[in-house]
Amino acid sequence: MSVRERLDEIREIGRDELRGGYSRHLFDQAEVQLRDWFRSSAEKVGLSTEVDGNGNLWAWWGSPGPGTIATGSHLDSVPGGGTYDGPLGIASAFEAVALLQAQGWVPSRPVAICAFAEEEGSRFGMPCLGSRLLVGEIDPQAALVRSDSDGTTLESAWRREELDVSRLGADPKRLAWLSAFVELHVEQGLDLEQRGLPLAVASAILSHGRWRVSIHGEGNHAGTTPMRDRRDPVVAASAAVLAVRRVALEGESAARATVGRLAVTPNGTNVVASRVDAWLDIRGASDQDVRDQLAATLKLIGECVAAEGCSLDVNEESFSPLVTFHDELTSRVAHILGGVPSIPTGAGHDAGILAPHLPSAMIFVRNPTGVSHSPGETARHVDCETGARGLAEVLKRLAGEETS
């Protein structure tokens, strides 16, 4: 097979006719189908599969245990996401194993392919949910009460899948099995296209966080409420969004701030709204830069909200500190790939969650449009196959070494 053929197998799963692209969220119909695809891909290359206590799927070449070299990515998407963010890493991992098996090569250590649960955080609001739970970064009790936009809690979603909620949380034994993790991912920018190269490794992930900003006003009648008597949270939110951009434009060069999601209550054409929830995503070169950007942004938002006679509350949904990938592993992977460059990214990844716990690295595959989190995301067939061959070579070197 090829990476292209593997991705073709899931081409119709989770297509979003309304938004375009794919909407595949943890344990929805599409994501469950992708989990079946993961299992059948594993079966085709003779790998056994299991789900860990945190909803992450694992395929094992060899027996699970110490010294494991792991690769993989995620199956879920943002709403209306692209073809490659997540699935490329999974398809390439299976292709890499198939290529190595075709050579008659047998690993000296266990090799694992992992599909981490809810990397995008699009259902329960916590990016890299499965990997954060695995490393013990979030409290399972706090995770269980998180709810999706329909009010379904993570606990009931887990029970519906007949998963044992008592297994949720830190899994030090599994974590200790992993000697290294290498995630292959589509690049989410134009760096490689501009350099004319198919592959790179990741040097770092920008610091980033997500906040839910709730603006409360007074619901009222659109026809009978005089303009000067209104406390309209939509007007406050509109001013707040402009303030978010203003602060980021004035910040350091890596500063990024986005309001990509708004929920208006009650969301009626002839109704002055009573509440607006805005989700704020801020990224920057350091944790302090993000915190400073947040403080400056919230100050301005507070002024916008007060000017409309509204009130405000803010909840931090997640914070992901700056990640610097393991120097030695990253240099080694870059060398195995033929001396590819090392580039930073503003996007979050499960490899970044694992990085403080074990040597982790990433391989990026060129994206001709540079677009991601959108149906416009692309990758050339030839680059995807180059990526899988590169990953195979990386696994061969790393898993070809006896465990000490």
CB of 54 to Mn ion, least distance (A): 17
CB of 121 to ligand GLV, least distance (A): 7
- Among the listed ranges 50-58, 77-85, 244-252, 313-321, the one in contact with Mn ion (CB under 5 A) is 77-85
User: How does 83-108 read in b/e, with b if 16+ C-beta sit within 10 Å?
Assistant: bbbbbbbbbbbbbbbbbbeeeeeebe
With respect to ligand GLV, which residue has the nearer C-beta, 38 or 116? 116
CB of 79 to ligand GLV, least distance (A): 12
CB atoms within 10 A of CB 40: 11
Q: Which does 127 bind (CB under 5 to 8 A by kind): Mn ion, ligand GLV, none?
A: ligand GLV
Q: Which does 359 bind (CB under 5 to 8 A by kind): ligand GLV, Mn ion, none?
A: none
CB of 217 to Mn ion, least distance (A): 33
With respect to ligand GLV, which residue has the nearer C-beta, 199 or 347? 347
Which DSSP string do the residues of 6-40 spell out, in sequence order?
A: HHHHTTTTTB-TTTSSB---TTSHHHHHHHHHHHH
Fill in the per-residue mask, 332 to 371: x = in contact with ligand GLV (CB under 6 A), - = not in contact. ---------------xx-----------------------
Q: Cβ(346)–Cβ(177) under 8 Å? A: no
* 304 Cβ contact partners less than 8 Å away, ≥ 6 residues apart: 236, 239, 240, 243
- Among the listed ranges 86-94, 152-160, 161-169, 321-329, the one in contact with Mn ion (CB under 5 A) is 86-94
With respect to Mn ion, which residue has the nearer C-beta, 86 or 387? 86
Tell me the C-alpha distance between 167 and 354, whole Å: 19
CB of 279 to ligand GLV, least distance (A): 11
Q: Which does 390 bind (CB under 5 to 8 A by kind): Mn ion, ligand GLV, none?
A: none
CB of 73 to Mn ion, least distance (A): 6
How many angstroms separate the most distant Cα atoms in the chain?
78
Q: Which does 348 bind (CB under 5 to 8 A by kind): ligand GLV, Mn ion, none?
A: ligand GLV
Local structure of 139: helix, strand or coil: coil
Quick one: which of 118, 120, 308, 385 contacts ligand GLV (CB under 6 A)? 120
Q: Which does 171 bind (CB under 5 to 8 A by kind): Mn ion, ligand GLV, none?
A: none
Fill in the per-residue mask, 126 to 145: x = in contact with ligand GLV (CB under 6 A), - = not in contact. -x------------------
Q: Cβ(72)–Cβ(183) under 8 Å? A: yes
85 binds Mn ion (CB under 5 A): yes
Cα–Cα distances (Å) from 8 to 2, 3, 83, 337, in that order, read 10, 8, 10, 26
Which DSSP string do the residues of 175-205 spell out, in sequence order?
A: HHHEEEEEEEEE-SSSHHHHHT-SEEEEEEE
With respect to Mn ion, which residue has the nearer C-beta, 115 or 241? 115
DSSP H helical segments within 65-216, as ranges? 87-102, 129-135, 140-144, 154-160, 172-177, 191-195
383 binds Mn ion (CB under 5 A): no
Contact footprint for Mn ion (CB under 5 A):
85-86
Contact footprint for ligand GLV (CB under 6 A):
120, 127, 347-348
